[in-house]
Structure 1
Amino acid sequence: MRKKTKSIQKKQKIRQKSQSKKPNNALRLVKIVSKNGNKNIKAIKKRDAPEILCFIKNAPETLKFYSEIRNSLSKNFSHMNSIQKERSRKRGGYWPFENVSYIGTSASLVLAAEYQRWHDINKSKMSIVNPEKWNVEVYQKLEEVGFFDFFDLPNDRNLPKKNSEDVQIIKMRSGSTADPGAIGEMIDELKNLEALGHEDLEEEFIHLYGAMVEGVMNVVRHAYPEGISTKFPHIGKWWITGSASKKNRSINITIYDQGISIPRSLPTWNKYESWKKNIESEIGICPLADSVKFDGLAILKAVETAVSSTSDTHRGLGLSQMRNFINCCKSGFLRIISRNGMATFIPNSPTHFIRKIPTAAAKSYSHSIGGTLIEWNIIF
């Protein structure tokens, strides 16, 4: 009898242990709000977003969470029959954000791009979960970026009016062609923001315009090449937004695409051999195009190679112009996140050279951003 009891207890422990390893698939009731303000109560899987969604303050968890959204919204869609696709369109993607206390502007842009991809490819009815429970500042940030009206989602919360001295955001734009006019309109909007006051930044805006145009042209030329597939279906677009902070005396511009990424495009680059020698001198090997382990360093070395080259820049990736712009600034940074890598650059200066302060840094992460994000932050 004792042996039987011990055997049962042992089986129960094994069962409990195996259940603890399984993902939490518990359901919970939520309010689903869709186009035209339609509201329904549904049971969905319990999912928790990170408290901070930001590529600066919490890059690992933010990239992981966005990867989960990307996988969920695109999961098995290409293998569905017509009935399953129709059910998927009606069901949409339900991701709660009520536990998010902060979201960065760049993170807001990438989130909106993911939703637009799902919307355009699947012709789905986009929905949001429990919007009345979202953090006020998070809700306002997404509202300013244009997340709600971009997809014709309802935005009927009565929120306190923001102080004009707080960070002001330019509503995002998207496109599939190199459109200098759209960039010019965004520059004009930035100039008119109250957060900039009466600062004389005409020269900075001229250089910023050139860097932004180069960034968008880079997407059009290199992000979505024919014959090279991406892990997830894309819609061939770029997204861009900007902001200004009076408190921090800064301007921020972000461009994002869902293309093949810089590390994967390097083998077709006209400076590939120079880049190869550059990275081999650092780590002793040349990473394969599909290897993500050294993505951060691959981006950093690509920028260094582009800056040191004197060949025709319009045959390259536009990286030298992006780096040279930040060098013209008194302070700030250029951050490039592409696939699983991040490279950050600050202006070169005599002080940095004398003190041997690094002006570039690279990191690689376990999860991909799903394309390339370029961010300039200029301190004025």
Structure 2
Amino acid sequence: MSQLRRDALTRFEAAQKLLPPPVLIFDERPGCCVLKPPAALDFDENYEETMAFLMAIRGRASVRGIKHPETGVRLRLFTDFAILKTIAPGAGLVLAAELDRRRLGTGLKPRSLDDEWDPEVRAYFHQAGLFDLLGIKPQHEGKAGDHATLHAVRFVRGRSVKGQIGSAVRDQLEALCGKKIGPRLTVYEAISEAIANTRHAYPRDVAIWPSKATGSWWSAGTWNSATNTVSLQIYDQGVGIPATLPRSEHWSNIIKLVGLADRLHPERRDDQLLAAALEVGRTSTGEKGRGKGLAEMAAWVDKLGNGFLRITSGKGSMTYRPGVSVSGTSRRAPFFGTLVEWEICLGG
């Protein structure tokens, strides 16, 4: 194992120790160790349990089986989604990406027992195309009920950051809700730049556990017909925005916006770094960078006067609302990668 990979493993194991232990059940299913998710998969409302579950999936991506603690018999890992009752779109995208990465890394095709799942969870994953992303056949047709209000566009995995992808994502969201979600050029530029920003996520001199970084990004989106809100989520499994900011040409300006006490502290608050990067992007001109892409999405929220932009990365998350209203949350355990979530109400 190279030093880079040893360092990545050390960081990963240190992060897991800051989270609750994952729920692993032995002797429930013959020949299996059962991994249980929390009932609510949601970074905003249930961050630590959600991360513990997702990191358990990632940590076992390169392990073919788990030993029974008493018998020593090697068991297959079975992830039981039957107790999952609610899932936030951002957490749903990260879950899909972790399962997708595991499939790509191991070459093993997962098997679904979706007949046992909650009907709303099953319907959401059918609409979002989880089974197609993973190349598996579901047991249940899983159509949304006549009174369902949450509708999803299909998960997309990509490596290209070319501009036409932003146009495709915009068109999918507009087809889902049946109306324009903003000026076409504005929407295109905001989404395209947000996707293009993922090219900064995978520096060659930093390894990511457990396998070689895919260089990929994943996207998803929803429309809630009851509230007339549209959302977009973009996720990468890279090193995180706070880790890449010191390499930015705007670093000197970013660090000036962080409070003096945090600026001098060896472990600066990541939510403040995220907010500072966004502010520099909003007020700077010239070459586009990671903060500039996020700033375009924030400007869209400001123009509409509703909704939010949320960035979760490192040990923090930052939420931007209309009127340059910024709030941050600091976390004990880091988020692996970067999740950008944007939501607006279409009105009318």
**TM-score using structure 1 length:** 0.75
> What is the rounded CA distance, in whole Å, between the counterparts of 1:112 and 1:318 in structure 2?
24
Distance 1:202 1:294 in 2: 34
User: What residue is the counterpart of 1:149 in the other structure?
Assistant: 132
| Partner in structure 1 of residue 84 of structure 2 | 100
CA distance in 1, matches of 2:22, 2:345: 44
Aligned partner (choices 240, 243, 247) of residue 264 of structure 1: 243
Map of 2:229 onto structure 1: 250
For structure 2, which runs of at least 5 residues remain unmatched after alignment? 1-20, 66-73
Distance (Å, rounded) in 1 between the aligned partners of 2:44 and 2:312:
11
Q: Does the alignment pair 1:114 with 2:102?
A: no
Deviation (angstroms), 1:148: 0.9
Cα distance in structure 2, aligned partners of 1:278 and 1:260: 22
Distance 2:61 2:289 in 1: 36
Counterparts of 1:173 and 1:23 in 2: how far apart (Å)?
28
Instruction: Show CA shifts across 1:50-88 (max 9, x none).
Output: 1100223322321222122222224699xxxxxxxxxx9
- Which aligned pairs between 1:20-31 and structure 2 lie closer than 5 A? 26-30=25-29
Write the deviation string for residues 88-119 of structure 1: whole angstroms up to 9, x where unpaired. Answer: 9xx77421111111112221111111111111
Q: Specify whether residues 53 and 237 from structure 1 end up closer, same or farther in structure 2 by C-alpha distance, changes over 3 A only.
A: same
Q: 1:23 and 1:322 mapped to 2: Cα distance? A: 35
CA distance, structure 2, for counterparts of residue 250 and residue 275 of structure 1: 32
**Structure 2 counterpart of 1:69:** 57
User: How far apart are 1:317 and its partner, in Å?
Assistant: 5.6
- 1:124-154 per-position Cα deviation (integer Å, ceiling 9, x unaligned): 23234x4322111111111111111111222
Q: 1:281-333 CA distances to partner (integer Å, 9 max, x unpaired)?
A: 3x343455xx4x72222212221232232343248663322322222222000
Report SS of the residue matched to 2:91.
helix
Is 2:31 the partner of 1:43?
yes
CA contact (8 A) 1:92 1:126 kept: no
- 1:175-214 map, 5 Å: 175-193=158-176, 196-197=177-178, 199=179, 201-203=181-183, 205-214=184-193
After TM superposition, the structure 1 = structure 2 runs for residues 216-255 of structure 1, keeping only pairs within 5 Å, are 216-220=195-199, 222-233=200-211, 234-255=213-234
Distance in 1 separating the partners of 2:22 and 2:254:
42
Instruction: Report the equivalent of 2:14.
Output: none
Relative to structure 1, is the Cα distance of residues 132 and 294 closer, same or farther in structure 2, using a 3 angstrom cutoff? Answer: same
Cα 1:96–1:328 change in 2 (3 A) is same
2:13 paired residue number: none
Which among 151, 161, 165 is matched to residue 168 of structure 1? Answer: 151
1:345 positional shift: 0.6
What SS class does the counterpart of residue 365 from structure 1 fall into? strand
Partner of 2:334: 368
Deviation at 1:372, TM superposition (A): 0.4
More helix by share: 1
Alignment deviations for residues 326-373 of structure 1 (CA, whole Å, 9 cap, x no partner): 222220000101123111010117xxxxxxxxx111112233332001
Q: Can you give the 5+ residue segments of structure 1 that lack an aligned partner in the other structure?
A: 1-21, 31-41, 78-87, 350-358
In 2, distance between residues paired with 1:180 and 1:191? Answer: 17
The 3 A distance-change label for structure 1 pair 141 and 244 is same
Check whether the contact 2:313–2:334 (CA below 8 A) recurs between aligned residues: yes
| Structure with the larger strand share | 2
Q: Residues 1-40 of structure 1 correspond to what in structure 2 (within 5 A)?
A: 26-30=25-29
Mark the CA change 1:192 to 1:112 in structure 2 (over 3 Å): closer, same or farther.
Answer: same
The separation in 2 between residues aligned to 1:343 and 1:249, in whole angstroms, is 24
1:338 pairs with 2:313: yes
Please tell me whether the aligned partners of residues 168 and 244 of structure 1 are also in contact (alpha carbons under 8 angstroms): yes
SS at the partner of 2:61?
Answer: helix
Distance (whole Å) between structure 2 residues aligned to residue 255 and residue 185 of structure 1: 14
Q: For 2:271, what is the secondary structure of its paired residue?
A: helix
Task: Number of aligned residue pairs: give it.
Answer: 317
Call closer, same or farther: CA 1:311–1:161 in 2, change over 3 Å: closer
1:47–1:95 contact (8 Å) kept in structure 2? yes
Equivalence for 1:301:
276
Residue 43 of structure 1 aligns to which amino acid in structure 2? G
Cα distance in structure 1, aligned partners of 2:158 and 2:143: 32
- Contact 2:310–2:319 (CA under 8 A) maintained in structure 1: yes
Q: Distance in 2 between matches of 1:333 and 1:255?
A: 14
Question: How far apart, in 2, do the equivalents of 1:367 and 1:93 lie?
Answer: 24
Q: Counterpart amino acid of 1:343?
A: M
Q: Is contact 1:92–1:127 with CA below 8 Å preserved after alignment?
A: no
